[in-house]
């Protein structure tokens, strides 16, 4: 399991096709991990690109951390990861909260990002997007899992339920994730977003609650194109091959 | 140990023992002790492995067998139903055939 030190913390990374000329860096979403890309999306991109995936702090197999879930800290981590891997510029893609991190990265470090793909990034001022944090409880998790099983068809067993419960408990009640996210609520309304001068592909589920946010971003960013994909917020799971091919075409052209 | 094996082909029993060792390393001994791991054990239902644990498991196979086995590629060719029904016996057969 490849683990590297970034800003003095252990970060779990996975790389494919290291010899390729250009790099695609993939950022996963909150309460998820790099496996959202590992099995389907990354191998397709790796036919042409060097692909780098990493687990965000306290997620997957990266080190747990109490603080620093705001977008500045998250992009400091990403910048540190690029430095640790000697990557000067990358094509960047992020899903959900990872989409916000990717967008922030392109705004803060424009010279390091070639093209940008934002998949299903929510508007952090939307209470529903943040809401799960306020409502979290064991009952919430069990309810969430019941719904979650509709799309994945896998019923979560006792050990997984415990594992997930421990992760949520840790993130919700011990780390600063809640307050850090609330502090970011106006991120998409900041004028700098409209100044983004980077080819940007916005991928949103046609039936997603976040589609409106995609449309608003498309209005704001002059160099963006919005493509609806069949599905809801879970499009990387629902349509991994389609998503990978769209990202691939966009980065290669 | 995560080293690329250079010696001959493993038989199915040896592959089974190796897979059991990898599973123990990934999900932890305390859980494995409560389980009866057989070739019929399914990854998602019986062993309750989630996707990041399957990433770890795949990495162990990659580290052990090197390029002779494209385990991740094999997994990514499956649809969701196939993944859910994936059991240890199928993995053992796949590795056995690839060697």
Look at A45-59, A125-139, A236-250, B30-44 and tell me which has the smallest mean pLDDT: A125-139
- Helix/strand/coil for A51: strand
B42 lies in a domain?
Answer: yes
pLDDT of residue B20: 95
Angle between helices A97-108 and A71-84 (to 10 degrees): 70
Q: How far is A35 from chain B (nearest CA, A)?
A: 5
For residue B30, give the nearest of A120, A162, A248, A207 by alpha carbon.
A162
pLDDT band, very low/low/confident/very high, at B72 (cuts 50, 70, 90): confident
> How far, in whole angstroms, is CA A143 from its chain's centroid?
24
Query: Does the pLDDT value for residue A144 go beyond 60?
Result: no
pLDDT of residue B7: 59
- Region A104-130: mean pLDDT is 91
Average per-residue pLDDT for chain B = 87
For chain B, how many structural domains are there in total?
1
pLDDT band, very low/low/confident/very high, at A151 (cuts 50, 70, 90): very low
C-alpha A129/C-alpha A210 separation (Å) is: 9
pLDDT of residue A143: 57
Comparing alpha-carbon positions, the chain A residue that sits nearest to B63 is: A1
pLDDT of residue B46: 87
Domain that holds residue B93: 12-98
pLDDT of residue A149: 45
**A153 to B72: CB separation less than 8 angstroms, yes or no:** no
Contact A65, A17 (CB under 8 A): no
Look at A43-57, A192-206, A214-228, B33-47 and tell me which has the smallest mean pLDDT: B33-47
> What is the assigned CATH class of domain A3-124+186-252?
alpha beta
A43 contacts on B by Cβ (under 8 Å): 72-73, 76
**A40 to B76: CB separation less than 8 angstroms, yes or no:** yes
C-alpha B25/C-alpha B37 separation (Å) is: 14
Phi, psi of B54 (to 5 degrees): -70, -30
Query: Does the pLDDT value for residue A237 go beyond 90?
Result: no
B19 lies in a domain?
Answer: yes
What is the enclosing helix (H) or strand (E) of A95? strand A90-95
DSSP letter string, A222-236 = TTEEEEEESSSTTHH
Comparing alpha-carbon positions, the chain B residue that sits nearest to A55 is: B52
Comparing alpha-carbon positions, the chain B residue that sits nearest to A163 is: B50
Contact A228, A204 (CB under 8 A): yes
B7 lies in a domain?
Answer: no
For residue A35, give the nearest of B31, B48, B51 by CB distance. B51
Which residues numbered 36-95 in B keep a CB inside 8 Å of some CB on A?
44-45, 48, 50-52, 54-56, 58-59, 72-73, 75-76, 80-81, 84
Partner residues linked to A51 by β-bridges: A16, A24
- Helix/strand/coil for B21: helix
B6 lies in a domain?
Answer: no
Query: Does the pLDDT value for residue A152 go beyond 60?
Result: no
- ipTM of predicted complex: 0.81
At A43-82, the pLDDT tens digits run 999 999 999 999 999 999 999 999 999 999 999 999 999 9
Average per-residue pLDDT for chain A = 89
Contact B8, B88 (CB under 8 A): no
> How far, in whole angstroms, is CA A11 from its chain's centroid?
15
**B55 to A159: CB separation less than 8 angstroms, yes or no:** no
Partner residues linked to A90 by β-bridges: A113
pLDDT band, very low/low/confident/very high, at A150 (cuts 50, 70, 90): very low
Contact B4, B63 (CB under 8 A): yes
At A153-193, the pLDDT tens digits run 456 677 888 888 888 889 888 999 888 988 999 999 999 99
**Cβ pairs A/B, distance under 8 A:** 51
Query: Does the pLDDT value for residue A86 go beyond 50?
Result: yes
Contact A1, A61 (CB under 8 A): yes
B2 lies in a domain?
Answer: no
Looking at chain A, the whole-number percentage of residues with pLDDT higher than 90 is 73
The radius of gyration computed from the CA coordinates of chain A, to the nearest angstrom, equals: 17
Task: For residue A228, give Cα distances in angstroms to A172, A225, A235.
Answer: 32, 10, 10
For residue A39, give the nearest of B48, B50, B75 by CB distance. B75
**Domain at B19, CATH number:** 1.10.1200.10
């Amino acid at each position: 399991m490849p683990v590297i030190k970034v800003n003095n913390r252990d970060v779990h990374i996975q790389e494919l096709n290291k010899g390729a000329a250009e790099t695609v860096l993939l950022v996963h979403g909150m309460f998820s991990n790099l496996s959202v890309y590992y099995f389907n999306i990354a191998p397709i991109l790796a036919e042409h690109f060097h692909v780098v995936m990493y687990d965000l702090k306290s997620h997957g197999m990266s080190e747990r951390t109490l603080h620093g879930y705001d977008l500045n800290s998250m992009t400091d981590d990403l910048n540190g990861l690029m430095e640790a891997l000697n990557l000067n510029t990358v094509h960047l893609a992020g899903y959900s909260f990872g989409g916000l991190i990717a967008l922030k990265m392109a705004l803060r470090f424009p010279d390091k990002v070639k093209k940008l793909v934002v998949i299903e990034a929510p508007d952090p001022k939307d209470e529903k997007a943040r809401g799960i944090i306020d409502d979290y409880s064991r009952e919430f998790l069990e309810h969430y899992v019941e719904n979650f099983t509709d799309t994945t068809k896998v019923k979560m067993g006792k050990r997984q339920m415990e594992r997930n419960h421990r992760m949520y408990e840790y993130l919700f009640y011990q780390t600063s994730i809640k307050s850090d996210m609330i502090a970011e609520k106006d991120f998409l309304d900041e004028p700098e977003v409209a100044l983004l001068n980077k080819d940007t592909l916005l991928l949103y589920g046609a039936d997603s609650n976040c589609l409106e946010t995609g449309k608003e971003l498309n209005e704001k960013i002059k160099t963006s194109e919005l493509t609806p994909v069949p599905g809801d917020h879970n499009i990387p799971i629902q349509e991994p091959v389609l998503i990978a091919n769209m990202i691939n075409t966009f980065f290669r052209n | 140990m995560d080293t690329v094996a250079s010696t001959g082909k493993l038989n199915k029993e040896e592959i089974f023992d190796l897979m059991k060792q990898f599973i123990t390393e990934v999900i932890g001994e305390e859980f494995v002790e409560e389980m009866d791991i057989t070739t019929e054990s399914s990854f998602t239902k019986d062993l309750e492995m989630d996707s990041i644990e399957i990433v770890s498991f795949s990495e162990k196979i990659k580290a052990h067998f090197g390029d002779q086995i494209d385990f991740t590629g094999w997994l990514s060719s499956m649809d969701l139903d196939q993944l859910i029904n994936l059991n240890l016996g199928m993995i053992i057969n796949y590795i056995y055939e690839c060697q």
